[in-house]
Structure 1
Amino acid sequence: MVTYYPELAKRVRSQRDLQPDLYGDFDFDRQPDRLATEPDVETALPSWAGDRAPILADDRVMELISTATLLGDIVADPYAALMNSYSLTQLIDMLKTACREGVEAVPDAPPELVAFIAAMEATPQWLDFDLVREGARQERIPAALLAPFITRGAFIATFTNSYAALPMALTGALSGKRAARRVNETASFFAVTTLPGALDRYGPGFEAAAMVRLMHSMVRYNALKRSVKGGRKWDTAIYGMPVPQVDQMPAGMIGQYLLALKAKQEGRKEFTAEERAVVEFARYRCFLLGLPEELLPAEPAGIIHVMHARSGLLRHGFDSICQELVRGTMSAYLRPGTSLFDRCAEAVEKSFSKFTFVRTFCGGNNDVAEAMGVTMGPTDLVRIALTAPFILGRFSVVSRASRIPVLRDVTDAYVIGLLKLRLATYGKPEFTTDSTHYTPVAH
């Protein structure tokens, strides 16, 4: 029974009417097996991170996560479904043109594209663009100075659950080259969105968000339709909606979740002015990615509660597919060249990524990480010890300098220049998925 989020529930049910070919047989009244509502089951929320009891006792958050688990993308999915009438290249070209020049620049623009862009242009009422710009200025400092060393570690955290990881396995991301491309595309997306004006209507971040949404919708479409044709039926009774919005929330809000934990540890119920800007920036970026406002709390307690609820209601599962994804991503070579510098940088990045994964997603337990395919040895600790003073020291100096008015512009120019170099290292992102490379997955 819908009590707290009728509009969200209406959006979920509208998917069948908007895309009957895709969702006509989808049972939106049935909760998939992935949704763990029983009190005594193992879930994706480890005991060291939080307690499930407050989640199970909160009918509002239970309804929110249960509903959002069935939500795809009501504007990007119909556009991706046009692959029956248009080529992949045509869909991408039309979307890029619409982002760069406006929908009116696309000859005979299909109504699905018009609706897609209009939804992204519909600026939410809560948005404070001054805060978004300030948040972007702050966020491009870690994007330039820290993200290159931790993105892989955060990326593999998405593979630690069988239910959430299956779409990625289906796309063939088990192999080293494809895994490397996905990691670099992820790093590129989050980096480019922090550039000045990137999230403006005609900015590169706006376009990147649209492309990411199209990619997710293509995965969603191919999982539900192509898997049937290939004899590998996507079991909606078990896995529910492929790439639901609730699974995109952790990647979009992980930084803000860590800020919320910091505030809680310091006994604060509200964010500082600086933190508020970063949170507003992240919320708007998530909005452009298609996440509903209901999944984007603005206060520390709300962020922690919703993030824990998503994990606490996601049934535990870590199988051979997850292990392959983790190992394939950890072994992938991310650098553009093979010079001595590139190989050394790659080794340092892997060590920092392992450390990030162990500390942030395994509660500092090396045994838990090793069981998932991430082994951190003495050599990794030596690399971190030798390079951390420079990496973390530079980040600290630049962060402090950015708070001094007389140094702010100079610091920002330095960070922007470095960020552009990082983007060149990541390579040109494609933000696409090719169904011809999809891999059979045993359920």
Structure 2
Amino acid sequence: MKLSHLVLWRLSLALIVVLSVWAGLFYMAVMEEVNDEVDDSLEDYSEQLIIRALQGEEMPAANNGSNNQYYLYEVSKEYALSYPQITYRDEMVYITEKKEEEPARVLITIFRASNDRYMELVVYTPTIEKMDLQRAITGWIIFLYVLLLLVILLITMWVYYRNMKPLYRLLGWLDRYRLGHPNEPLDNRTTITEFGRLNEAVTDFAGRNEKLFEQQKQFIGNASHEMQTPLAICRNRIEMLMEDDGLSERQLEELAKTHRTLENLTRMNRSLLLLCKIENGQYMDKYAVCLDEVLKHYLSDYQEVYAYRNIHVEMQVTASFCVEINDSLASVLVTNLLKNAFVHNVDGGLIRIIIDRNVFCICNTGNEPLDGIRIFERFYQGTKKEGSTGLGLALVDSICKTNHLAIRYFYEKEMHCFEISKSFQIPSSSLQ
């Protein structure tokens, strides 16, 4: 989830809670104020009625045409002593003049008259429709709430994006940053202290990575280069020993195993040295090369090897697949794919080659799919195969990346497929 979306979500939840509590308190405050004003009016009216009753004056008509109405009657002493002297409540009362029930505020008070009599006075006055008021307040609160929420969120996001611009510039620079390639300097001026420190930390970290990367490439290149001569000397000495007629059969077998191990080590060393040269940009000369022509040149050599395991080759060429690439790297690219299709094939299997203007695809039969995420990692092998160094597909991947080609693996109809394209595409159903 984006930080902006998370901020909006949490801010919205907080505002919903705060504004909901505020709406409840606002409604309670309005009703308290309304009731207080009505209660004051009822108290004044009840005092006038009590004074007239105590002085023996004639009481006004119970229904005198005004909003205020009353009932006065005698109660027992026990009743008077068991109830509070004054209470307020809301009731629905019948208005004779309107011939309907309306909400009213009621005051009930008990006072002591002459001759130890106790009188109960009930005074009520029509009040506002609280449900109508509640609906009106709720409607306006919702309207104001939505308006206020939108305004707050818009202002917050405007302030957020304005203040977070340095972070987005830094993220954009990191997205464009490529280790080992020329990168534009970070231009991210800001007056925010935290972002300034973050810019310094990122640039320092990138500088250290570049230095370590260069040291690593130099070490691999130098080590691979320096190992070539000792490996060649060891192979030559073993070959000379194998020519000795005095060796036993067991000794010859051990020497042959050692020779094969040195051969694998030599091939691995050459692959590592080639990888280092590719990453160092030592193959800058590029020409228009058609990979189908390169394939035809090497395929005849591989046909004899394929025939040894009864592997059949099918080709579907509808157009030439031509790219701008170093011719040496083009040869390495094609031969590694051909070798991979042989080493990881099954006896009596099939190699299918599909070529058109935008796709160069080599497929071989296989029993189960490989790990599509790790297949191009160095030294990764799904199942160990004799003669495989684990660097062939890593070389293919490095060559494709260097020359802006897309390489992807997919498993379809019991066939491993490696497809090279000039742009990233959805996996095609080439095997249909």
TM-score with structure 2 setting the length: 0.20
Greater helix content? 1
TM-score with structure 1 setting the length: 0.20
Bigger RCO of structures 1 and 2 (CA < 8 A, at least 6 apart): 1
Greater strand content? 2
